[in-house]
Chains A and B, each alone.
Chain A
């Protein structure tokens, strides 16, 4: 009874205090203040954007710059150095946009692949038993992380690649791969009539790997027996297409680059701009990824390794089953941001003239049309979208490696 009464009293006093606070000045009410501040901000921002837009319009009128996206359909009138799809100087700005976009994707993909490779090699090398290897890995990371990327791009382009011999004195590897000051020349595989059989075989091999992995996991869950999935997969991917080629009688020929006049023709040409940019991006980002890998491995308590040893796992299996899966939880989010900054940094193509999206669109197209706002925003949106796709994929991957909480 006594307890009940005090509760009633507290409630009543609470009600009284609430009533008294509502009778205080309304401008001391935090909710009203919040609304007031936000309205103030809306008006401030509104005025800011209004004045910017009206300034832009009057400035454009004064200088006679057109607005809108009609320039995308106009003929560009200039050529680009490298294009993955056919392009002539009479094609439109819209097509230039696509060409640049594909070139950006190409250099980013090459950069991401090699940066990951370098990063994992040197990151794991920091934990080598060999003192010299540890030192080499440390020197790599500390040197390339601390030098501006632009300098590295210039270094590869102006100091290394332009010091290569001329076309006539090319460095060659087995008379098939040539490297000279004009670029890297690789042989190309040209498919004949029955070449599709090999392509189908490759596709079947890739599908087969997924089926095999599922089957092997199920069998291990049920019986505990392990199946060498990795070796079988490699054998399938390499073996099936080769088998198909042999059965159909080698329906392809190799197109080797050949010296005609002053340069090599035929095969695949990798221009030095692409090489310099890809090397610099891979080496620079690789150093950051190596640090991420080191952080990931270091985050795992040593007890994990000891426990794994005590139940008799081999060193290789400890790495594969205990260390790497746990380290990935730390590494993947860091990889995500490194990949995104690699894509953003690929805009440095503008410094050496590799025709990526930024260079052909914000560089040349802006210069020719004067439509700064349209070109810059179109480009920015592309980089946003690419980074969002990377982020989405890496988050999917992260969910796959994340600890399943019970």
Chain B
């Protein structure tokens, strides 16, 4: 009696699996493709080794003055020597713990808004976010409880970029929310005011807003009032940001299903109960990726502060490059360093926003 014996499956043909097949498919599928592949490989082989050599192998790493740069390659000593100014500007060294404290607080609040237990996460983190800028101003400026006053002229560097962006978007949040509501309102006058406001701040170049803040705004205050330049620019950034964020929120409001509005009405909630308890939490969740994208834009735009003479990181770099002890042409090293810092922050945030988007998708599925 014959017993049925299955023949074991034959291995797939050599040319359809494995690294060779992958290369045939993806790199050398036809003649033009192969030519392009070889050209790119040649380009990389030709240019990458000298760059690696310049940036790492024959670079100068240790030392404190320009004389330490004896080797052919990059002079990272320059970046090293100026790193304090790049991050903290001219903030006094003995007071720098205040900046670090604020960075830690910022990170804690960010962490809080993602990890707190869900039933009070929204309330607690919104409160923390809104208090944060005030705490920041008090701690960084000082003048109370034995803290020395550090005038805003001394603030600078990369942390100023971070703080300006963070403080602006936080304060812009409630305003932009109101503008977005105004734009959806059925009252014609309120609606048209909101539209004009939003379109104005979205339509003008951000540089002209900075000029308004630094040159025009002092004319608006009554005589004798002297508002700090940084505060004026902050005000302008808040307006700018609330214009953009209002549009983000408008998208969020439109994305909440109308059944949610109707259900809230039918259980007899008042307008503000409906908006704050039912709609707003959903809007914030839906708009999170766009809020992050807007923040990245704002963060990149804080470099424009240089044009009105505020010593943010690029301005600090320009000062360092013009310093008479460092005239050996370190532009490339300096720019690469600042590139890297900005790129890492912005790319990190865009990865985060992609992750949030993906999380939201899976939550919808189950």
Contacts and interface: CB of A to CB of B under 8 A. Distances in A.
* Main secondary structure on B side of the interface with A: helix
A142 interface: yes
Given A131-B27, A151-B342, A52 B220 contact: yes
Interface in A346-388: 347-348, 350-351, 358, 362, 366, 372-373, 376, 379-380, 383-384, 387
A55 interface: yes
Interface stretch (B57-65, B85-93, B258-266, B330-338): B330-338
Interface stretch (A35-43, A172-180, A187-195, A221-229): A35-43
Interface in A38-89: 38, 41-42, 45, 51-52, 55-56, 58-60, 62
B187 interface: yes
B19 to A, nearest CB: 12
A351 B210 CA distance: 13
Nearest to B25: A129
Interface-central residue, B27, B29, B304, by most chain A CB under 10 Å: B304
A151 B187 contact: no
B339 A348 contact: no
A350 to B, nearest CB: 5
Contacts, number: 134
B335 A350 contact: no
B342 A384 contact: no
A137 to B, nearest CB: 11
A38 to B, nearest CB: 4
Contact of A373 (B36, B41, B219): B219
A149 interface: yes
Nearest to B182: A41
Nearest to B301: A148
Interface stretch (B98-106, B111-119, B142-150, B343-351): B343-351
Contacts of A348: 207, 304, 307
Nearest to B345: A146
Contact of B190 (A37, A60, A145, A154): A37
B346 A146 contact: yes
Contact of B219 (A59, A133, A155, A158): A59
By size class, the interface of chain A is 35 or more
A384 B189 contact: no
Interface string B3-34: 00000000000000000000000110100010
Contact of A146 (B36, B41, B189, B350): B350
B173 interface: no
A339 B108 CA distance: 38
Contacts of A131: 26-27
A372 B303 contact: no
Contacts of B40: 132-133, 136
Interface of B: 26-27, 29, 33, 36-37, 40-41, 186-190, 193, 203-208, 211-212, 215-216, 218-223, 296, 300-301, 303-304, 306-307, 314, 318, 321, 331-332, 335, 338-339, 342-343, 346-347, 350
Q: List the 5 closest A-B pairs by CB distance, nearest first.
A: A146-B346, A131-B26, A148-B300, A344-B205, A347-B205
